[in-house]
Chain A
């Protein structure tokens, strides 16, 4: 036999790979290309004008790059991008600060207790996030429990000094309420990868460090933290990237100072009905997050290949 016959299971394999592949190409990738096309188009009276028109034997291609000029020149968009990245970074840091010790002590708890702890962390995640963000409106509003507690503890002076609130005893629609809301929403996304990573930590390494004379504090920074780097990166990406484009939390809890790019896209699309500008803003946002996206994808691919 001179030709190589394809094995009998070839058709099944093509289907299993092909069906999701084609589906994703059609409903995930193609939309991005369309957004890019719209970002180069002009808004007509009712709908977007065609980029390519064929009439009288002439193919006319109209690429309006002035949308991009507009985005770059107008201060509003630049401020929104900067503000989005800033608050996403603050949220990521807060989640890491709260979540790392949380995940660490969860992983060190009694083995029989850990599934229960895990379930208790997951339960808020399964409950509607919209409702939980909405709950913070009640907690931070005038007379809300958390607002009263913060004022009673005079923490509002501290927040005012840090620029997180505008006036004493007014916590709603401030950077503070936004960060609290986003940290709250994304905390499980940080805890779970960290826990998965820390639970696999070989405790004998810490024993060895103690035998060699390291204090627990030193052992933590020299052994535990470097080994949990993968979990830290995964958790941080899972928090940072979606936070940059967040819409619901800034809309419910944010205020005039906390302009986020998600709201800009929403307003351009729904209020201004300006699809090309909304598309342009979206394209620039994707470019902004492409580096963290690549890092995240690399981590995911490694995680999926590691065991096999």
Chain B
């Protein structure tokens, strides 16, 4: 069988080296940043000795710290609201087969996934400015950035959740309805427990997307509302900066730990679920 799939031992070796080279390509920049952040010399090409001073300076860097706090707040609300709206959109697309303007709705839900951010940021800003001139709200800042992130978050959230909804067995919900459950009870008692994992995964995805967003935030931010990526971006434009290396290392380590822990938990939950299902089937027979 492996003969047909790999063909020859050459192909198998080729595959392994391609994967290795690919991962090297993906991870080299991240490793580089971590190494640079301990470099005494601000120039990346010269190694000036090991130091932790950049991390010390980071702790007192007001600009970055306030940017981080704002970004975390926006990311939290953006993720939560995106998951709520995204679940509704996913339900609409997966469960309800025909409604007025379905293709159009599907287009609007999926377009932010690929639409260049300059267009999204510019268009949303122009509209919010027009609204602000008419009713005096919202001010450019937290609210406007949040709205921009939610547009993107809704798209990603609905992709993740609709993928999970399609996998679900519809008979479970039909059985619940046969037993007399109202639709909202069916959702709350049957559907929701089954999609909890993908809700969490969608929340984390939209959270990290919001935390990382540059262009849309740049268009929609106002005075006093600078998100962390914008601070990093303005510093990065000027050249290599040790403070950015330090924050980068912190980010990479935090993300790596979270992703690894999450993957382990997911794998464990999957195994437990598979065991439970096979145990239930054994009990039946």
- The answer on a CB contact under 8 Å between A207 and B28 is no
Bound Cα distance A131, B211 (Å) = 12
Within 8 A of B (CB), among A252-308: 252, 262, 265-266, 269, 275, 278-279, 282, 285-286, 289, 292-293, 296-297, 300-301, 304, 307-308
Segment of A67-75, A121-129, A155-163 engaged in the interface with chain B: A121-129
- The answer on a CB contact under 8 Å between B214 and A130 is yes
**A209-B4 in contact given A265-B122, A300-B110 (Cβ < 8 Å):** yes
- The answer on a CB contact under 8 Å between B259 and A122 is yes
Instruction: Tell yes or no: A19 within 8 A of B by CB.
Output: yes
Collect the chain A residues with CB atoms within 8 Å of residue B19's CB.
Answer: 102, 105-106, 109, 117
**A20-B88 in contact given A31-B127, A138-B36, A237-B114 (Cβ < 8 Å):** yes
Segment of A53-61, A139-147, A225-233 engaged in the interface with chain B: A139-147
Collect the chain A residues with CB atoms within 8 Å of residue B7's CB.
Answer: 215-217
- The answer on a CB contact under 8 Å between A16 and B167 is no
Collect the chain B residues with CB atoms within 8 Å of residue A139's CB.
Answer: 28-29, 32
Collect the chain B residues with CB atoms within 8 Å of residue A104's CB.
Answer: 15
B158 to chain A, nearest CB (A): 8
Instruction: Tell yes or no: B252 within 8 A of A by CB.
Output: yes
Chain A interface size, under 10 / 10 to 19 / 20 to 34 / 35 or more: 35 or more
How many residues of B are counted as interface, with CB atoms below 8 angstroms from the partner's CB atoms? Answer: 97
Segment of B48-56, B229-237, B276-284 engaged in the interface with chain A: B229-237
Collect the chain B residues with CB atoms within 8 Å of residue A248's CB.
Answer: 214-215, 233
- The answer on a CB contact under 8 Å between A124 and B30 is yes
Within 8 A of B (CB), among A51-89: none
**A108-B6 in contact given A31-B126, A35-B123, A308-B94 (Cβ < 8 Å):** yes
A244 to chain B, nearest CB (A): 6
B41 to chain A, nearest CB (A): 11
Show 30 A/B contacts (Cβ-Cβ < 8 Å), sorted by A. A9-B182, A16-B88, A17-B92, A24-B105, A30-B127, A31-B127, A98-B22, A105-B19, A108-B6, A116-B263, A122-B259, A127-B256, A130-B214, A130-B233, A130-B236, A131-B248, A137-B236, A142-B45, A145-B32, A146-B28, A184-B26, A207-B4, A216-B4, A262-B116, A262-B118, A265-B119, A279-B122, A292-B114, A293-B115, A300-B106
